[in-house]
Amino acid sequence: MTIEPRAGRPRASSREVLAEAACELFLEQGYDATSVADITQRAGVSRSSFFNYFSSKSDVLWSGLDARIDTAIVALGGLRADADAAAVRGILSDVVSDFAPDPLALALRNATAMGLEEELVRDTGLRHARLAAGIADAACRSGISAIRADILGAAHAAAVLSSLRVWAERGAGHGSPEALFEEALASIHDLPWRA
């Protein structure tokens, strides 16, 4: 006798199952009260399986965005001295492009219920600093002074992270991260790449 696979939704990967279990637990009992052991027990996988996919409990929330930021920083590092705002903004647009609801979006939308407000502020700050530094380095290589480069880096990184936060907080069907990013860029139009 052969067993036919069930019709319908395909089996989720362990990564997806772990992320889903973590988000459920964060909503049920709060972020701080949830351990990696709780997550693996809920997901029905071993502790080592968790660490095959995530480096920490926080990484469950941030890994998708971190991968996009890593790609952006590599691309920003490849810009030459003739880089302009359009090149930088094109790279940053890729960070928010086709951003689907994920554990981070769920956490941003439900920060209070999950007990994540402080965690999100701290961890957003880390991502902001990394992205701002990559943008500022690109600006400096194109001949922009260090202070102006730092300001441009901070403003553009804030545009990326703010557009994702506002999109997540509004919920599904209320705009796109891309549109919000364009709106955020319009807010910093008085900071031209070159003076």
Q: Are 60 and 103 in contact (CB under 8 A)?
A: yes
| Torsion (CA) 92, 176, 169, 32 in degrees, nearest 10 | -50
Q: Cα–Cα distance between 92 and 123 in angstroms, integer?
A: 19
Q: Are 130 and 158 in contact (CB under 8 A)?
A: no
Counting as low any pLDDT under 50, the low residues of the chain are 1-11
Q: Are 161 and 104 in contact (CB under 8 A)?
A: no
Residue holding tokens 């400096």?
A: 140
| 177-187 helix and 146-170 helix, angle to the nearest 10 degrees | 140
In this predicted model, what pLDDT tens digit does every residue of 31-53 receive, in sequence order? 999 999 999 999 999 899 899 99
Residue holding tokens 């956490």?
A: 107
Q: Give the pLDDT score at 3.
A: 43
pTM of the model: 0.86
Q: Give the pLDDT score at 7.
A: 47
What's the angle, vertex CA 77, arms to CA 73 and CA 81, rounded to 5?
140
Q: Give the pLDDT score at 68.
A: 97
Q: Give the pLDDT score at 170.
A: 92
Q: Both tokens of residue 1?
A: 């006798």
| 85-96 helix and 117-141 helix, angle to the nearest 10 degrees | 150
Q: Both tokens of residue 72?
A: 């952006």
